[in-house]
Structure 1
């Protein structure tokens, strides 16, 4: 065999000669960022124990991709180099973001990386719902995906206005985080015990998306209030900060900015940790226009909004309705009084209506998503109903404060 032939057979031949199981359907998982990767994990559970498929991971270049190699390493994943992936063919590809997906030779399924489609893209003329624009679904003139999965049938209205040709491949499947949170709500007491909370202690969970208008941009004023106004013996706090903040500024910088929090016993939840069990434990949520705050409507916890910039919110989304419903955090009144007000004004039926807009297929994401994926793979589905697993218990809150191993990793 000539050197030329050896070269042209890479990477396919080189990879195959080391495999024990060959002839599998190959599924490429495109992990742009930690946030996207965590979203895709719920989907990948649907391939467990199916020896007919081989899952392969790759991480294309991305502005918030610095932490992806460590995230994949913690999962036991060895990702293929992107330049090799672009020379290969796959039976299916999964992505929660648009960058470089046109480089891949495979039928592509796109999924939203958060709850619904909450944000608008500023400075863009015409339809500008992030995630549903033609630029998101067909970046750089790439072909339409094989399937565009959305959580709610009303999302098809936005899609019709922004990329109508994608309606033919749109599939309403539901929301995996929604379903896992609902399945796990009965374990709230167990999660609270795992966090180290006593029965009498209350938990305030601060949530933040990324960007200048997020609640993270207001922590300079909020942190002193959490430390100085909440009774330390009766109330604990935890912060859920979007992975893009960690990636954009670096873990050292985020921890340095929030060092006072960990010194005062406020748990800064690391970006690789599953945030959903912590959210379930909340007695109050202080948040913004991001997905985690919206998922908080499932928990029964009253919500205060530290930030809800109208210009960044998709007016047709449940985030817009939440912004009209939840009280706004005020600098003029004590934090304890405002939390008490949020509890007194909380109407479960109002928040249930907002939560219902997250998905029109509650509890059915796994069933619907598996049907879409196996249909594109031309494989029969496994002969068992897919389950929605409950969330694992979180580590103790004190492991994320000063001296905690996770916080210093």
Structure 2
């Protein structure tokens, strides 16, 4: 039986609501990765008494493990998917291309990582893919000749040029907004001491963080014993693992594989940004976390690299040109020193590769959201809060 939530929507909603006349905002969460990105953006509108934010997890032919639990843990009102696709929303906010044709209402489409354009040349979702993809392609942004997003948020001006080549019919929907995730990390840098305290790291101690995306060419996929090697030489090691790796393998299995006294296993939903900010050295791969670490001035060494499967001009390619590579047969401390020496040059390359509107994303995104809602923005400037410890 398909149950419906008796919430602030539907023909008899007026008989139930306490705050009446709200514009409805739907956050679409097919993956935890998309959900964490939306949690940065939703506060731009959900504090307004003129709006009501609701969540939905698409339930179609397949789902990702743990997403429903993650969404319900946020405390928001969760609308069943079969009900969400029947309602006309005032604004739909998404950070994934999945399921957009089924939704009714103006869609704001956001990236779910660093950059709207993919760093990988070929999609991991298409086994044996032979045609390169960018994330800004016509087959992702249109459906039966209709452009899906009413507004397409691009962190970087250069992505407009890519969109013009790959899906020119969506160009008039594109808005260069910058990157709110990066802006929050930059705003959080003065809180570095607090993040280190929360992790139990003293002022005179060194924190090494391993950042691994998902897929077989990630750090965890290629070097599953790296954390153990690091713990033989460093007292404090943290691991930031892509949420999709947790979803595919399950929390119990991830914890079992990585159980080792002293390893700080950062939860997949929140805490990774605080850990990166608190770190003294980040060993990463081609994933977004590594790029963000470089952009905020953390010393970065590339532990693994996918080689020919990177799109030319991508954020990952920029990081790969400037960051040193890990040499497992050489002393680790000396390699950290090399990363420290290259920090300034790497940051100078990484920051403009990720965003062309540093510290401007909150204002730009809020303006787009209120324009789609059809109501005036609040008078006060939007806040850019520091990221939480966990």
TM-score (norm 1): 0.87
Shift of 1:64: 5.8
Partner of 1:97: 96
| Residue 120 in structure 1 maps to residue 117 in structure 2 | no
Unmatched 5+ residue regions in structure 1? 1-9, 395-409
**Following superposition of structure 1 onto structure 2, how do residues 199-218 of structure 1 map, counting pairs within 5 Å?**
199-218=203-222
Deviations 1:268-319 (A, max 9, x none): 0111223111110110000000000000013322111112213332221221
Unmatched 5+ stretches in structure 2? 1-7
Contact preservation (8 Å) 1:279, 1:299: no
SS in 1 for 2:35: helix
Query: 1:356 offset after TM fit, Å?
Result: 1.5
**Aligned counterparts of 1:125 and 1:108: Cα–Cα separation in 2:** 30
Please report how far the alpha carbon of residue 100 of structure 1 lies from its aligned counterpart in structure 2 after TM superposition. 1.0
Q: Give 1:370's aligned residue.
A: 366
Aligned to 1:359: 355
| Cα distance in 2, alignment partners of residues 77 and 219 from structure 1 | 38
Question: What residue in structure 1 maps to residue 239 of structure 2?
Answer: 239
Normalising by structure 2, what TM-score? 0.91
Give the one of 296, 299, 320 matched to 1:299. Answer: 296
Three-state SS of the structure 2 residue aligned to 1:320 is helix
Secondary structure at the aligned position of 1:380 is classed as coil
Distance 2:74 2:313 in 1: 36
Q: Deviations over 1:314-344 (max 9, x none)?
A: 221221011121111122213233223323x
The residue aligned with 1:381 is: 377
Cα offset for 1:154? 0.4
- The answer for the alignment partner of 1:281 in structure 2 is 278
The answer (yes or no) to whether the contact 2:322–2:345 under 8 Å persists in 1 is no
Secondary structure of 1:83's counterpart equals: helix
Cα deviation code 1:207-240 (max 9, x no counterpart): 011111111113423133112233x3xxx11000
Does residue 326 (structure 1) correspond to residue 323 (structure 2)? The answer is: yes
1:41-190 pair list within 5 angstroms: 41-61=39-59, 65-116=64-115, 117=117, 118-122=119-123, 123-124=128-129, 128-129=133-134, 131-138=135-142, 143-190=147-194
Aligned length: 376
1:225 to 224, 229, 234: 229
Q: Deviations over 1:50-108 (max 9, x none)?
A: 11111111111375632122112221123111011111111110100011111111111
Q: Partner residue of 2:5?
A: none
Determine if contact 1:64/1:244 at 8 Å carries over to the other structure: no
Q: Distance in 1 between matches of 2:137 and 2:229?
A: 40
Q: Give the equivalent residue in structure 2 for 1:339.
A: 336
